[in-house]
């Protein structure tokens, strides 16, 4: 599970470990991640592991997948929760806008490159943390990376819309494999999210103090999607409070999925061999 070092991710990691699941917690190295994994191990007595990856970097996305494969031979639930809001436009070392690189490609690439392991472990699931922020978003197809007129909130909302499209596409492409994919909205949660400079970040901080729900409540649907049998009965869904909801309007329609998929393959620099490997896994069962 990514984004496991704080907020709702830490809660779900703890709950999964307490259930007796083997949990692999992922966050950026050099920070709190390894210590938090140690805390979760101590709190639960569970089988808890830690892998470091800066998921905004393409090389780290791949290195994470490789490190995981070297240590584990099955994957029952891939929980892709890492995400952030960037008040000012930044680019990663790959030259990709930071919100898109982390919130979208940081979920898309691991899901794509771990598809064979998921299918081999079926029944299995992919869970991506989206947000109702996507409700007001539309894809800027001619400027997905906000090179012009950057708005932190717009870039964030678009990345969360992409999360919903990715689970719809995974649901379609994984049909018949026994792998379900779902996105969810955790609610407005009091976490470290949005912390930092800028008007929106300060506004989020103030609003969290008065209106936000606890990380435990925010994590509940994520843990449920990662573990409940009900979440395997359907796929491609969007959820909040364990209840299926319609996808954001901008995520609907038959063309948006394939269009985003193609663009993402290019941006994530997926090789023809990796692409063919994914297609083989997905179509083998269809
Ligand atoms: N809080 C809310 O109200 C709310 C509402 C809707 C959706 N969400 C979504 O919920 C998810 C979790 O957020 P949260 O509220 O729990 O916030 P949080 O406490 O800030 O947690 C964010 C997690 O993402 C990780 N992360 C950030 N940048 C990363 C990077 N470059 N590479 C790898 N990991 C990175 C962080 O780990 P390190 O910093 O230790 O690397 C941390 O574990 C996010 O996707 C967020 O967009 C939150």
* pLDDT at residue 285 in the model: 55
Residue 63 tokens, joined? 């290195």
Domain 7-280 class in CATH? alpha beta
Query: CB–CB of 63/44 below 8 Å?
Result: no
Residue 217 tokens, joined? 């409540």
Task: Assign 189 a pLDDT band (cuts: 50, 70, 90).
Answer: very high
- Dist. CA 280–CA 68, nearest whole Å: 21
Note the pLDDT tens digit of each residue in 139-185.
999 999 999 999 999 999 999 999 999 999 999 999 999 999 999 99
Task: Assign 84 a pLDDT band (cuts: 50, 70, 90).
Answer: very high
Domains of the chain, by residue range, sit at 7-280
* pLDDT at residue 201 in the model: 73
- Dist. CA 258–CA 114, nearest whole Å: 19
The pick from 32, 34, 64, 84 for probing ligand 1's pocket by mutation, whose C-beta has the most ligand atoms within 8 angstroms, reads 84
Task: Judge whether 85 counts as a catalytic residue.
Answer: no
Question: Which protein residue's CA is at the shortest distance from atom 41 of ligand 1?
Answer: 28
Percent of the chain past pLDDT 70, that is, above it, reads 98
Atom of ligand 1 lying closest to residue 33 CA: 40
- What Å distances lie between residue 238 and 12, 18, 191, 234, CA to CA? 18, 26, 22, 11
Residue 13 tokens, joined? 């990691």
Question: Which protein residue's CA is at the shortest distance from atom 8 of ligand 1?
Answer: 131
* pLDDT at residue 283 in the model: 75
- Report, as an integer, the average pLDDT of 233-238: 98
pTM for the predicted model, two decimal places: 0.96
Cα 83 to ligand 1 centre (Å) = 4
Note the pLDDT tens digit of each residue in 245-263.
999 999 999 999 999 999 9
Cα 285 to ligand 1 centre (Å) = 34
Say which residue the tokens 């995974």 belong to: 170
Note the pLDDT tens digit of each residue in 33-50.
999 999 999 999 999 999
């Amino acid at each position: 599970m990514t984004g496991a070092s704080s907020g709702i991710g830490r809660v779900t990691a703890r709950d999964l470990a307490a259930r007796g699941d083997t949990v692999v917690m992922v966050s950026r190295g050099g920070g709190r991640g390894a210590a938090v994994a140690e805390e979760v191990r101590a709190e639960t007595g569970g089988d808890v592991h830690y892998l470091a990856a800066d998921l905004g970097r393409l090389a780290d996305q791949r290195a994470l997948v490789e490190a995981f494969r070297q240590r584990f031979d099955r994957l029952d639930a891939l929980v892709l929760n890492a995400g952030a809001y960037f008040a000012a436009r930044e680019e990663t070392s790959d030259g990709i806008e930071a919100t898109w690189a982390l919130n979208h490609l940081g979920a898309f690439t691991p899901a794509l490159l771990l598809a064979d392991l998921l299918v081999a472990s079926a029944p299995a699931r992919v869970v991506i943390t989206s947000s109702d922020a996507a409700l007001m978003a539309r894809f800027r197809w001619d400027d997905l990376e906000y090179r012009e007129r950057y708005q932190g909130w717009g870039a964030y909302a678009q990345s969360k819309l992409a999360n919903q499209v990715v689970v719809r596409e995974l649901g379609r492409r994984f049909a018949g494999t026994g792998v379900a994919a779902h996105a969810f909205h955790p609610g407005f949660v009091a976490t470290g999210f949005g912390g930092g400079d800028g008007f929106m970040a300060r506004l989020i901080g103030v609003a969290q103090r008065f209106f936000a729900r606890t990380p435990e409540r925010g994590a509940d649907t994520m843990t449920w999607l990662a573990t409940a049998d009900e979440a395997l009965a359907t796929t491609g869904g969007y959820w909040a409070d364990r209840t299926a909801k319609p996808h954001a309007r901008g995520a609907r329609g038959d063309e948006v999925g394939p269009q985003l998929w193609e663009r993402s393959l290019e941006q994530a620099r997926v090789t023809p061999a990796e692409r063919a490997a994914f297609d083989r896994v997905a179509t083998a069962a269809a």
